[in-house]
Structure 1
Amino acid sequence: MRIQGIRISNSTASLSIKDWQLGEEHWGILTTSSDSNRLLEQLLMGDIEPESGEISQLVDSVECVSLYEQQKLLERELANDETDFQDSIDYGSSVEQLISELGCSDAELEQVIQKTDLIALRDRPFRQLSTGETRRLMLARALVKKPKLLVLDEPYSGLDIAHRASLTKLLDELSSKMQLIVMTSREDEFPSAISHLALFDNAQLSQTLSIQEWHDHPLRQQALSLSESKSSDWLSLMEGENEQLSQEPLIKLTNAKVEYLDGIIFKDFNWQMDQGQHWQIRGPNGCGKSTLLGLIVGDHPQCYANDIQIFGIKRGSGESIWDVKKRIGIVSSSLHLQYRVGCSVLEVLLSGYFDSIGLYEQPSKKQLLFAERWLEVLEMSHLAKTGFRQLDYGQQRLLLVARALIKRPQLLVLDEPYQGLDFISRKLVHAALEKISSANLSSLLYVTHYQEDELQAIRNFIDFEPLEEGHKLVTSHK
């Protein structure tokens, strides 16, 4: 395949490629901005017509695994939700149904379920899957179509250590059957089959090189320097906000328990998080990390069946939800998927003051001016009136991180905050969180599967250890 003189654009992004020759080799893609990733995917899949240039020898069977495709599937499942017409909550089609609907044989179904480690989840409804489990499902759906070219956009996002290793092994196996193009913000996530890299900078293909040549490339150091500078701007904005302190424990759980019809997730968990502390929650995909966070922030249906105190206020005692949530900033895949309303970039940022999905209250002049300052720092001022859902997934996630920070919350809940971010944005957010936690501007409750994303200020940990039934939650300190 050869791409020459291509230029494509939409309302929020553009992409240009002067000359790119793709033989049968496997490619890795690194971009300094995620804005163009979706355009590149659409171009390779033949879903978009370029404004200029041409593509010769376009592959006729292309599948894409991306967070964008995952969102599309969620939209479809929500549209088919029949909860209002039955006596129980409709959590969507099962894993097996979502793979089978693509027309595979029983033998092919069993093979792909085994390869993607979905055997134990085959009957699990789509909307009850964890982030990592959903990523494996999306890969399984792509594989049953037997593509000649498989495009993977952040394929490791949300996967725990064991499943990242399994995915690398699977991709190396698939490399003998199909061509791979892997887009990732993490340079260590390319499977060994990747022999060439394409670097995209300022919305254009800037260079192609071998994987060996990348390790000495100046762009790596430039990204680190740029993220360090920008993160200082983020810190300055947060330091300008009023500090909210509490003499009570931020969180206190007494004999916490979550149980479903098919078993116990965890039980007998006693834990307290005090002002000034930072905690990281660790454990494999599907163990219950997001469940624990949902219990704490009040988004899980069993939160009122447990003895939970937030900022000294007992959950279910008639407390105002606003009194609790106004002190919490949240970034999570769940919030991202729920943020489906038709509001602008500026309104999304302002909604952080009111903890709403969408903007339903009139912000003050001070809040409006401060949000505009945040957009300047994010380099999104030109997108202020653009619809949130028109943004690339990575742009959306970066905006939601800023939404969580804008009011300088007393408690910052971060569940895989880097998901979908490009190379530079991930470095930027990590550097900003290092500064925020070190300065104790907010107390962090943090989930990540990557050792490189650990923060120096975090010295307290909750680990999910498997039992015969559910998990035991163990705390530790360093």
Structure 2
Amino acid sequence: MAITLSDLSVRLTDSFTADFAPLRLEPGEHTVITGINGSGKSILAAVIAGQGKVVHGERHIDGTVGWVSIAQQQAIVAAERRKDDADILDIVPTPSCAREIILQGINTPSEKQHSEVQRLSKIFGIQHLLERDFIALSSGETRKVLLVQQLLGKPDWLVLDEPFDGLDAQTAERFSILLDDIKQDCTIIMVVNRQSEIPQWAQRLLFLSAGQIGWQIRARQLNADALQPLRQILHIQQNVTSLPEQDATSKAPALSEPNAPLVRLRSGRVAWGDDIIFEKLDWTIMPGEHWQVTGPNGSGKTCLLTLITGDNPQCYSNDLNVFGFQRGSGESIWQIKQHLGIVSNSLHLQYRVNCSAIDVVCSGFYDSIGLYQSPTRQQRTLALQWLETIALASEAHSPFQSLSYGDQRLLLIARAMVKHPSLLILDEPCNGLDDINRHKVLAMMELLARSGHTTLLYVNHHSEDTIASISRCLDMRDYRPTS
């Protein structure tokens, strides 16, 4: 029982076909796939999982396959959002709850399956979310739902593409223990960007380069000694010592009071029905005060950020002042967004237009998803400089959707930073980035923080992803209901 790819060519979309050298994966040989952004890790994982149409050669899969990936997550979220179009046809939309997503494809779940859903949901800490609409969950929570869904099927092969992205530290630790427990019953194939997430119990590592396996490691365990060649390769990284300048025509207008808070929230509260996400939160962000927001999945970190950006309707029911505007006093969303730069999983999901890479960066000058105005010559020059900074200048005219998830993420980071915003909101910005690009992006954010023009607001689950200029911390666990 093995997975074999023989002289394989697979069409993954109408316009994209990938070719693969011969590969054989043996049962029980747990395998890690890694490489720099754009090297084809997720593509190989999808093909191993049976995705795409074979147009040449042979793909043979013995046994059942479970697959969890960003692409799968995006597809389910998009399908649920399309249900919102039902009201155009005078049909009452019925969004799926988390439990329904988990049990998709199972006509009549058995008592044993219901029990297993409860057991797995408890491990991932989502048992209280099973009846909530899937579309209302955070990115980390939706990832947990999909992990439960695939684990429920007890597959022979479990293909996990960046499975720890979006998980808080406690959940990631429980999940690691679970994988260690189930590795006797299924073969695990895992795509990772971070060396720290490579499990020692894996025996094979495939390092991808330009869509092909550049080299590989086989060992009894992928311990520190076995991974020495990988560390040597990833030690070579580009240091960022300066950033492109600010565009005079697109910078945020000065606040009416220079020393006034950027954000002031009094007794902040967000609730969905009877479920209180957080309450009694008094918080002020002054210019130059860089903050990190911490807390487990579901503690309200993203909810808090969307209050500030205006993407959460409860911003109008709170006593919230943003950039001198009292929310609900007649201000427009553009008066708020002109001061903001945003990177988030939600924005990445929403950025479905297929404009060129340079247009994605230019869209940051106009706070738009897609580019609908003509940038000035100076703005295009600056956008190209940002592409050079993130080593994507060669992709300037490539369609956004044709790039890897990690390269898309780099573009959205440049888009958020391009106008040197008054407040840069970073909601798990390093998801999908390899170690080299992660260090580069953190260095870029540190430079922006030190410039004195931009205040950082940073949400992150990885303790190693530090930004030196951030000295203040808001722990959302302090604002959970006490009952």
- TM-score tier, shorter chain, comes to 0.7 to 0.9
- The Cα of 1:162 is off from its aligned counterpart by 1.0
Question: Does structure 2 retain, via aligned residues, the 8 Å contact 1:99–1:109?
Answer: no
Stretch of structure 1 that moved more, 14-23 or 305-314: 14-23
Which residue in 2 is equivalent to 1:308? Answer: 320
- The Cα of 1:9 is off from its aligned counterpart by 8.2
Which residue in 2 is equivalent to 1:364? Answer: 376
In the alignment, structure 1 residue 45 sits paired with structure 2 residue 28: no
- The Cα of 1:292 is off from its aligned counterpart by 0.5
Question: 121, 125, 137: which is aligned to 2:145?
Answer: 137
Over 3 Å counting, the alpha-carbon distance change for 1:31 and 1:424 in structure 2 is same
Question: Does structure 1 retain, via aligned residues, the 8 Å contact 2:194–2:435?
Answer: yes
Instruction: State the secondary structure of the residue aligned to 1:452.
Output: coil
Question: 236, 245, 249: which is aligned to 2:243?
Answer: 236
Which residue in 1 is equivalent to 2:272? Answer: 260
Which residue in 2 is equivalent to 1:347? Answer: 359
- The Cα of 1:27 is off from its aligned counterpart by 0.9
Over 3 Å counting, the alpha-carbon distance change for 1:461 and 1:468 in structure 2 is closer
Distance in 1, matches of 2:402 and 2:441, equals 22
Which residue in 1 is equivalent to 2:234? Answer: 223
Which residue in 1 is equivalent to 2:130? Answer: 122
Distance in 2, matches of 1:217 and 1:53, equals 35
Stretch of structure 1 that moved more, 80-89 or 188-197: 80-89
Which residue in 2 is equivalent to 1:212? Answer: 223
- The Cα of 1:356 is off from its aligned counterpart by 1.3
Amino acid at match of 1:302: Q
Which residue in 1 is equivalent to 2:37? Answer: 33
Distance in 1, matches of 2:427 and 2:309, equals 12
Stretch of structure 1 that moved more, 13-22 or 154-163: 13-22
Which residue in 2 is equivalent to 1:319? Answer: 331
Which residue in 2 is equivalent to 1:474? Answer: none
Q: Could you report, residue by residue, the CA deviation over 1:347-384 in whole angstroms, capped at 9, with x for unpaired residues? A: 22221111112222222222122223323333434444
Distance in 2, matches of 1:208 and 1:412, equals 39
Question: Does structure 2 retain, via aligned residues, the 8 Å contact 1:109–1:144?
Answer: no
Which residue in 1 is equivalent to 2:188? Answer: 180
Distance in 2, matches of 1:126 and 1:371, equals 36
Alignment TM-score, normalising by the size of structure 2: 0.87
Question: 54, 59, 64: which is aligned to 1:61?
Answer: 64
In the alignment, structure 1 residue 170 sits paired with structure 2 residue 178: yes
Q: Give the alignment of 1:286-435 within 5 angstroms.
A: 286-435=298-447
Which residue in 1 is equivalent to 2:95? Answer: 92
- The Cα of 1:387 is off from its aligned counterpart by 3.2
Over 3 Å counting, the alpha-carbon distance change for 1:168 and 1:116 in structure 2 is farther
Instruction: State the secondary structure of the residue aligned to 1:80.
Output: helix
Instruction: State the secondary structure of the residue aligned to 2:461.
Output: coil
Question: Does structure 2 retain, via aligned residues, the 8 Å contact 1:102–1:141?
Answer: no
- The Cα of 1:40 is off from its aligned counterpart by 0.1
Q: Could you report, residue by residue, the CA deviation over 1:58-111 in whole angstroms, capped at 9, with x for unpaired residues? A: 334222101110001011111222673799996821011112222143421330
Which residue in 2 is equivalent to 1:459? Answer: 471
- The Cα of 1:5 is off from its aligned counterpart by 5.6
Distance in 2, matches of 1:225 and 1:146, equals 40
Stretch of structure 1 that moved more, 166-175 or 27-36: 27-36
User: Considering only aligned residues, what root-mean-square deviation do their CA atoms show, in Å?
Assistant: 2.9
Instruction: State the secondary structure of the residue aligned to 1:181.
Output: strand
- The Cα of 1:448 is off from its aligned counterpart by 0.4
The count of aligned residue pairs is 465
Which residue in 2 is equivalent to 1:475? Answer: none
In the alignment, structure 1 residue 107 sits paired with structure 2 residue 115: no
Instruction: State the secondary structure of the residue aligned to 1:236.
Output: coil
Instruction: State the secondary structure of the residue aligned to 1:302.
Output: helix
Distance in 2, matches of 1:452 and 1:189, equals 12
Instruction: State the secondary structure of the residue aligned to 1:107.
Output: helix
Distance in 2, matches of 1:379 and 1:454, equals 22
- The Cα of 1:298 is off from its aligned counterpart by 1.1
Alignment TM-score, normalising by the size of structure 1: 0.88
Question: Structure 1, unaligned stretches of length 5 or more?
Answer: 472-478
Stretch of structure 1 that moved more, 251-260 or 339-348: 339-348
Question: Does structure 2 retain, via aligned residues, the 8 Å contact 1:14–1:36?
Answer: no
Q: Could you report, residue by residue, the CA deviation over 1:246-274 in whole angstroms, capped at 9, with x for unpaired residues? A: 51221111222223312322222222111
Distance in 2, matches of 1:299 and 1:90, equals 21
Question: Does structure 2 retain, via aligned residues, the 8 Å contact 1:35–1:394?
Answer: no
- The Cα of 1:127 is off from its aligned counterpart by 1.2
Question: Does structure 1 retain, via aligned residues, the 8 Å contact 2:29–2:203?
Answer: yes
Q: Percent identity?
A: 36
In the alignment, structure 1 residue 448 sits paired with structure 2 residue 456: no
Question: Does structure 2 retain, via aligned residues, the 8 Å contact 1:259–1:266?
Answer: yes
Stretch of structure 1 that moved more, 410-419 or 44-53: 44-53
Over 3 Å counting, the alpha-carbon distance change for 1:82 and 1:2 in structure 2 is closer
Over 3 Å counting, the alpha-carbon distance change for 1:464 and 1:427 in structure 2 is same
Instruction: State the secondary structure of the residue aligned to 1:299.
Output: coil
Distance in 2, matches of 1:32 and 1:292, equals 33
Which residue in 2 is equivalent to 1:157? Answer: 165
Question: Structure 2, unaligned stretches of length 5 or more?
Answer: none
- The Cα of 1:457 is off from its aligned counterpart by 1.2
- The Cα of 1:12 is off from its aligned counterpart by 7.5
Question: Does structure 1 retain, via aligned residues, the 8 Å contact 2:159–2:188?
Answer: yes
Question: Does structure 2 retain, via aligned residues, the 8 Å contact 1:32–1:422?
Answer: yes
Which residue in 2 is equivalent to 1:190? Answer: 198
Q: Could you report, residue by residue, the CA deviation over 1:203-239 in whole angstroms, capped at 9, with x for unpaired residues? A: 3212221313666535424434414x2x33xx321x4
- The Cα of 1:54 is off from its aligned counterpart by 5.4
Over 3 Å counting, the alpha-carbon distance change for 1:373 and 1:85 in structure 2 is same
Q: Could you report, residue by residue, the CA deviation over 1:409-466 in whole angstroms, capped at 9, with x for unpaired residues? A: 1110000111122333223212322333244452110000111012221110101226
Distance in 1, matches of 2:205 and 2:386, equals 33
Instruction: State the secondary structure of the residue aligned to 2:154.
Output: coil
Amino acid at match of 1:66: S
In the alignment, structure 1 residue 278 sits paired with structure 2 residue 286: no
Stretch of structure 1 that moved more, 322-331 or 206-215: 206-215
